[in-house]
Amino acid sequence: MKRRLLLVHIVALLAVILSSCSAKPERAESTVFAMDTLMYLEVYGDEAQATVAQAVERLYFLDGLLSAVNEDSEVSKINKSAGGFVDVPDEILEQLNAAQEVSRRSGGAFDISVLPLVTLWGFGTENAHVPSDEEIEAARRYVDYRNIELSGSSVKLAEGMSITLGAIAKGYASQTLAELFEGRGISSALVSLGGNVQVVGSKPDGSKWRIALQDPVNAGETAGVLELSDMAAVTSGGYERYFEQEGKIYHHILDPKTGRPSESGLLSVTIVCENGMTADALSTALFLLGEDGAIEYWRNYGGFEALLITDDGRMLVTEGLRGSFTQSGDAYTLEYVYGNGGA
């Protein structure tokens, strides 16, 4: 933890030095640790510095509001009030509505009420371990998005339930920042919140932003590059947050049906779409659904593009990404996926 903080400080210091050397257009960047994630922002244009400062403030604000761990957050308030209605701010309401839609469309694979399971497994704590079958069954009884009741600006969880916005909040945050930048007339910016990247406009030189896709098997390697403008690219995988017990890896995306880390045959899912919040929820949902379910979801609902990496070495890319995706190396066999009307 100390080393991470030191790194954050060094990067922040570098950021200040770099930005003070820049000529036109004004450029500012910042590295922040919030939402349990190292975050990076880069903004170009008039008032870039002031815009970044406002964005950082916004991130800390959202962190305070959305944390499932912080006892004082609005999400904790919802959890503590389970059994009764509680008023929620717009920032949360928007995520609840989006989450519920993805839950319905994914047949409950995506489910923000997995918190009892997340807590039981101890992800992100010193106490991460494989629970007993009985414990898993007991926690699973409280996991069901259909028992989250939304009415106007209030929400009610059934008795015993609790939610986490972990699978959608960073995407909501990147979307919020993109809107903040646009509102301030910024036409070139990038935010990278862990696996969540969102870009506004193109690079200052007019070329598209280049977003590297991590290789889920070979840590530190790049599996490909996406060239995008005005877009979010969000990746979910089992390789970033996990613990190891008796030589087996247990990652943090849980299948509500089994109460265990999902074993869908996918190593990572990247979603490309205009809205960062939607992209975040979908990356987790499609990761859980597996290859066939993910492709079916894309064909049925659309509105986004996807890139799936399978555990048997294939890279499945939906047809809309032809032209914006370039594979790096040959670790995976590239296959394009077509819509219902396609090949």
Per-residue x/- track, 120-149, ligand ADP (CB under 6 A): ---x--------------------------
- Cβ-contact 187, 43 below 8 angstroms: no
Strands 27-34 and 37-44: antiparallel
Of these, 32, 55, 62, 114, which contacts ligand ADP (CB under 6 A)?
114
Judged by beta carbon, residue 15 or residue 191, the one nearer ligand ADP is 191
Residues 168-207, interacting with ligand ADP (CB under 6 A) = 170, 194-195
Enumerate the β-bridge partners of residue 222. Answer: 214
- Cβ-contact 276, 287 below 8 angstroms: no
Structural tokens at position 319 = 């047809």
Residues 73-112, interacting with ligand ADP (CB under 6 A) = 110-112
Tell me the number of residues near Mg ion by CB under 5 A. Answer: 5
CB of 91 to Mg ion, least distance (A): 17
Q: How far is CA 72 from the centre of its chain?
A: 23
Per-residue x/- track, 146-185, Mg ion (CB under 5 A): ---------------------x------------------
- Cβ-contact 163, 113 below 8 angstroms: yes
Structural tokens at position 179 = 């809107």
166 near ligand ADP, judged by CB under 6 A: yes
Query: If we measure between CA atoms, which residue out of 152, 147, 162 comes closest to residue 82?
Result: 162
Enumerate the β-bridge partners of residue 305. Answer: 272
The answer for residues whose C-beta is within 8 angstroms of residue 54's C-beta and 6 or more apart is 180, 184
Give the span between the Cα atoms of 73 and 116, in whole angstroms: 17
- Cβ-contact 292, 241 below 8 angstroms: no
286 near ligand ADP, judged by CB under 6 A: no
Judged by beta carbon, residue 55 or residue 167, the one nearer Mg ion is 167
Instruction: Tell me which stretch binds ligand ADP (CB under 6 A): 79-87, 163-171, 211-219, 307-315.
Output: 163-171
Which residue minimizes CB distance to ligand ADP?
A: 166
Per-residue x/- track, 6-25, ligand ADP (CB under 6 A): --------------------
63 near ligand ADP, judged by CB under 6 A: no
280 near Mg ion, judged by CB under 5 A: yes
Enumerate the β-bridge partners of residue 147. Answer: none
Report helix, strand or coil for 192.
Answer: strand
CB of 321 to ligand ADP, least distance (A): 20
Give the span between the Cα atoms of 33 and 65, in whole angstroms: 15
Q: Which amino acid is at 58?
A: R
Of these, 30, 79, 162, 164, which contacts ligand ADP (CB under 6 A)?
164
| Residue 145 site contact among Mg ion, ligand ADP, none (CB < 5 to 8 Å, cut-off depends on kind) | none
- Cβ-contact 128, 120 below 8 angstroms: no
252 near ligand ADP, judged by CB under 6 A: yes
CB of 49 to Mg ion, least distance (A): 30
CA distances 245 to 128, 248, 285, 297, Å, are 9, 5, 25, 33
Contact footprint for Mg ion (CB under 5 A): 167, 236, 280, 283-284
Contact footprint for ligand ADP (CB under 6 A): 110-112, 114, 118, 123, 164, 166-167, 170, 194-195, 236, 240-241, 252-254, 256, 280, 283-284, 288
